[in-house]
Structure 1
Amino acid sequence: MIQITCASPNENELVAMANALSPSVKYKFHKMEQCKDKLEAVEYVFEMLSPAMFFLLEKGIKLLIVTLGSNGVFICCKEHTNFIKDQCKCKQTPFSAQLLEKLDWNFPSNTPVNLCGESSSRTCVFHLPAISASVISLTGAGDCLVGGVLSALCGGLDIIRSVAVGVAIAKASVESEANIPDNISAESVADDAKRILISAKKLWCK
């Protein structure tokens, strides 16, 4: 049997995944009507989606990166989860090497969230906000997010910082006509990732 290690669904895909694996309980998600308060909107979405997220982790998925559109992303995983078994086998592209060099000095040392506790099995959920973008096309944004996360993980960053990089690269994607932008500035991505990380919050850890 093939086990899925990581998934990056949106809200509706997350619920569909949980319902496909649940013989009895049916999970639901209803979008909140117009809400100007971002914090209230995030808390509402978390309350709606957390049962499905926790269920999927119980089924063996190690990492969920739930994309929430303008509300950012949720990261849901166990504290002790190790995503990169052999760092030496990871390959870096010239761009990822340049990006990681920028991130070395650009990320704050005292991050507001972290994923520690090697001996812990607590389930943690973090929220990383979206940042404003001049949207041209949404096509390819999800692929860019996942690619950015994987590239950063292979470069040695932890999951929180890696998702911040993914969100920053997704922002660059939606501001481009191309599905995958030809010219992405490593310095710009690093700056955006820092802004995202500074505003990240731990929503749940039990």
Structure 2
Amino acid sequence: MEHRGAEAVIIGGMVLDIHATPSMPANPRTTTPGRVRYVLGGVARNVAECMSKLGAKPYMISAIGLDMAGNLLLEQWKSAGLSIEGILKNSNIETPVVCNIFDANGEVAAGVASVEAIDKYLTPDWILHFESTIRPAPLLFVDANLNFPSLQASSKIAADSGCPVWFEPVSVTKSKRITSIVKHVTYTSPNEDELIAMANALLGADVFSPLEANHNLSTVSLFHMLKPAIWVLLEKGIKVVVLTLGSQGLILCSKGGPKHIKSPLNKTTQSGSGEKLYKTIMQKCPPNSCFDVSEPNRSSRLSAVHFPSLPASVVRLTGAGDCLVGGTLASLCAGLDIMQSISVGIAVAKAAVEVEANVPSVISLAAIAHDAKTAYSGAKVLFHQSML
């Protein structure tokens, strides 16, 4: 942690997304007029790009091919001034590509993913090449596209050096991979379906049932239904669960309360890249003693803080979750606390849904700070009680 200038390490997929949006209701077995766009994607890549737009210089570890898709991804990475040293480039690799067809609301109606290269080439051997980069990092992000051995190898390096790990579930099926590394994970950010899948996987039984699709539960009712599953993750050692609820915002869950969630980077060792973000957000969102809801016997207490979503002119929803995480990670690594960091993440997620790309081409720090202040002031303690 003493390495001034050390940056977060992001391990996961770099993907070329093909977005197809019909201009009228699509009919089966024929083509439909509309727009087809190439969009740079991949959960880990989106998170890292988002962080870079906030002034961070994340170190990406990934794998791409020497093909059209790979070239597009690599050129953008170079133009952003980010290191390509950790990106495996090989002519035998087929760069991951995902083709999505959207409906009129910007939601994915159907899609095809060709992402086998992540599992095949992003191996423990490749990751171990960068052990000396991971060890001093303020934070390690891994997405669940990694296979079990790669998740284990990367998270163990981080854990052995005291580096916090953020696990991004990606999907219901892949979220179950949490079982291989749960003892090393500090943060995770599931939606409600991924949360249920993760809790069941950790218990080794289908204890919790998925919620009905399109339910109309209030945030309070939804939380109380999901509370036992949240507690499973916290009891297994995860320090922070960021439960994303779409239009209902998110719920920040921990044992004891937000004041016991430490930033992975002390202000005294903060790298220069996060200084502007730190100062700007501190002015808009000063640390709030109202959320010091800690208790001496906090190990048995579940604390939950609800952050409402921000009103937005929605164009596309695909990048919102990744930008939420990217904004939060950049803020944590700049030395901000978890409440401030989540507020920034929500503000960046709002910016993301208002553009076609997964990550906005430009992120205005002034606009983000304004929206973060709104999110920060709207946060409310939802629950703080013993689970015994």
Which category describes the TM-score, using the shorter chain as reference length? 0.7 to 0.9
1:134-162 Cα distance to aligned partner (Å, 9 max, x none): 11111221111111111111222111111
Deviation at 1:125, TM superposition (A): 0.8
Deviation at 1:115, TM superposition (A): 6.0
* Kept in 1: contact 2:293–2:384 (CA 8 A): no
Residue in 1 that maps onto 2:200? 19
Aligned equivalents of 2:332 and 2:313: distance in 1?
A: 27
Residue in 2 that maps onto 1:100? 278
The equivalences for 1:101-180 within 5 A come to 101-107=279-285, 110=288, 112-114=290-292, 120-121=298-299, 122-180=301-359
Moved more, 191-200 or 116-125: 116-125
What TM-score results when the alignment is normalised by the length of structure 2?
0.47
Residue 199 in structure 1 maps to residue 378 in structure 2: yes
The equivalences for 1:37-76 within 5 A come to 41-76=218-253
Aligned equivalents of 1:196 and 1:54: distance in 2?
A: 25
Deviation at 1:183, TM superposition (A): 0.9
1:78-110 Cα distance to aligned partner (Å, 9 max, x none): 2334341655555453xx443332222212565
Residue in 1 that maps onto 2:177? none
Aligned equivalents of 2:379 and 2:315: distance in 1?
A: 26
* Kept in 1: contact 2:263–2:333 (CA 8 A): no
Two-structure CA RMSD over aligned residues (Å): 2.5
Which entry has the higher C-alpha Rg, 1 or 2? 2
Residue 9 in structure 1 maps to residue 187 in structure 2: no
Deviation at 1:118, TM superposition (A): 8.0
* Kept in 2: contact 1:161–1:197 (CA 8 A): yes
Residue in 1 that maps onto 2:47? none
Residue in 1 that maps onto 2:264? 84
Residue in 1 that maps onto 2:3? none
What TM-score results when the alignment is normalised by the length of structure 1?
0.85
* Kept in 1: contact 2:248–2:308 (CA 8 A): yes
Aligned equivalents of 2:290 and 2:355: distance in 1?
A: 31
* Kept in 2: contact 1:112–1:200 (CA 8 A): no
Aligned equivalents of 1:90 and 1:146: distance in 2?
A: 19
Aligned length: 200
Structure 1's unaligned 5+ residue stretches are none
Deviation at 1:50, TM superposition (A): 0.7
Aligned equivalents of 2:310 and 2:275: distance in 1?
A: 24
1:34-74 Cα distance to aligned partner (Å, 9 max, x none): 75xxxx71111101111100111001111110110000001
The one-letter amino acid of 2:331's match is A
Aligned equivalents of 2:215 and 2:193: distance in 1?
A: 18
Residue in 2 that maps onto 1:189? 368
